[in-house]
Structure 1
C-alpha cells in the first residue's frame, strides 16, 4: 500500500512539473509597454500591405519626415521625436494603448494618430498607417526598428 501511494505521488509530481505555468496569452500592458519603452525606435521602411517596400521619394513629405527622427516612448506615457544626429528633442507628446493593446495612440506633430499594431517585438514594430498622397488614401505599414 505504501509503495502504490509513493508511485501515485511520484506520478502526480511529474504531472505538475510538466504543466506549462507560463502559458502564452494576451500580452499584458506591462510587457507591451516594456517592449515599447526599452529603446528609441526609427522608421526602417514603409511597405504596402503585401510587404513591398515603397521608395521614400514616392511618399508624401509628411511620411518622408519620419525617416529623419528617432521616436522615444517613455514609461510615463510621453513620447519624443529626437533628431538622431544632434540628439535634441524636436517635439513631444503622449502615447497610450487602446483596444486591448491592439492600437497605439500617438500624439506628436510628426506622427499623430491611432495606429493598429501588426507586430510589437523587441527587434521590430509594425504599425498600420493611412497615407494621403495626391488626394488618394493608402494603407501602408510603418516598419520600425530599434535606434541603437
Structure 2
C-alpha cells in the first residue's frame, strides 16, 4: 500500500510541475528579427512623445493594420492582421554592422536605423522626408511581438 501511495504521489508531483519555457539567449540581430511577427504599436518623435494619427499621413496609419514577418531566408512579408492574407512580399537585410534594417517591400521600403531590438520589442527610426510635417526630421516606429 505504501508503494502505491509513493508512486501516486511521485506521479502527481511530476504531472503538476509544468516545464518552464526556456527563452533563447544570445541571439543575433537576424535571429531576433525572425523569431516572431511584428506589429506596429505606435509612432513617436525622437523624444518618445506619441504621435497622433492626425500628425501622420494615410500610408503611415495604414501600417497599423499589418503584421510584418522577417523570415530567416531574408524574405519579408506584410500580412493583413484581420484576414491573414499576405499583401506584399519583399526582402530585408541588415547593414552597417547590423545597426540598419534595409527593407524592400511595397508600402514599407527604406533603410531604418535600429534603435531597439529584443525578443518582444523593435524600434526603428525613419526620416520623415516630405511625408510628415511638424514632427521633426525623424520619427520612431515602435513594434511589438505579434500574438497572432
Structure 1 runs not aligned, ≥5 long: 1-27
Structure 1 ranges of 4+ moved more than 4 A: 134-137
**For 2:125 and 2:70, how far apart are their aligned partners in 1?**
18
For these two proteins, the number of residue pairs brought into alignment is 120
CA RMSD of aligned residues (A): 1.8
Residue 59 of structure 1 pairs with residue 56 of structure 2: yes
Residue 79 of structure 1 pairs with residue 76 of structure 2: yes
**For 1:147 and 1:43, how far apart are their aligned partners in 2?**
9
CA contact (8 A) 1:57 1:64 kept: no
Counterpart of 2:87?
A: 90
Cα deviation, 1:90-129, whole Å, max 9, x if unaligned, reads 0110000000000000011121000010011111111001
Residue 106 of structure 1 pairs with residue 103 of structure 2: yes
Q: What TM-score do the two structures reach when normalised by structure 2?
A: 0.76
**For 1:52 and 1:137, how far apart are their aligned partners in 2?**
12
Structure 2 runs not aligned, ≥5 long: 1-25
Q: What TM-score do the two structures reach when normalised by structure 1?
A: 0.76
Cα deviation, 1:13-33, whole Å, max 9, x if unaligned, reads xxxxxxxxxxxxxxx8x6111
